[in-house]
Amino acid sequence: MRITAAAALGAATLLSQGCPSAYQRTYEKETQRLEAEQRAADARAAAEHAQASRYAAVVYFDVGSTVIGGDGQRELRWFVERIQPYPQAVILVQGFADSTGAEAKNRTLSEDRAKAVAGFLGAQGVNSSRIVTQGYGTESPAAANATVQGRSRNRRVEVTVQ
């Protein structure tokens, strides 16, 4: 009887220390499978972001205006069509102004332009939770404000994928 009890005790010790149970092996395999799925999902998301971030739009405005003209509407519709396959993409809408007028007014105007574009995107079916707006006033001009043409390029909203 002593040999049987000692053998049973030895077998139990061996199993508990060095031989994984079927449950433990199944758990480890499932964990590995889930980790592989997560890595694949992360890789797909990164590839989708890289694809979506290729698209951008620029909308130009008249002096002191937040009205999106026909060209701007076409540009934004084009942008929306391109990003529809990427519903997780976050859209950054940045408004700018030329140097005409006071800086405080230009900051507000640039914010209002960004909000107008965000509203247009929302009307085209883009979920507002995906849109981030910012207004920069006269910061970061696209061209010199010394000429009429330069100022017209600075009255803009840039739309990009973040």
Q: What is the pLDDT of residue 105?
A: 97
Nearest-angstrom CA–CA distance, 29 and 40: 17
DSSP 8-state symbol, 124:
T
Round the average pLDDT of the chain to a whole number and report it: 87
Q: Where are the domains of the chain?
A: 16-52, 55-161
pLDDT at 98 over 60: yes
Mind listing the pLDDT tens digit for each residue in 127-143?
A: 999 999 999 999 999 99
Q: Which of 46, 124, 113, 128 is nearest to 86 (CA)?
A: 46
> Which is higher by pLDDT, 131 or 11?
131
Residue with tokens 């981030």: 132
Statement: residue 51 has pLDDT above 80 = no
Per-residue confidence (pLDDT) for residue 64, from 0 to 100: 95
Pairing of β 131-135 and β 156-161:
unpaired
Question: Does the 55-161 domain belong in CATH 3.30.360.10?
Answer: no
- DSSP reduced 3-state for 153: helix
Give me the pLDDT at residue 18, please. 57
Q: What is the pLDDT of residue 150?
A: 96
The band of 3, judged by pLDDT with boundaries at 50, 70 and 90, is low
Does residue 12 have a pLDDT over 90? no
Pairing type for strands 91-95 and 56-60 reads unpaired
What local confidence, expressed as pLDDT, does residue 13 receive?
Answer: 59
b (16+ CB within 10 A) / e for 75-112: bbeebbebbeebeebebebbbbbbeeeeeeebbebbbb
**Quick check: 62 pLDDT over 90?**
yes
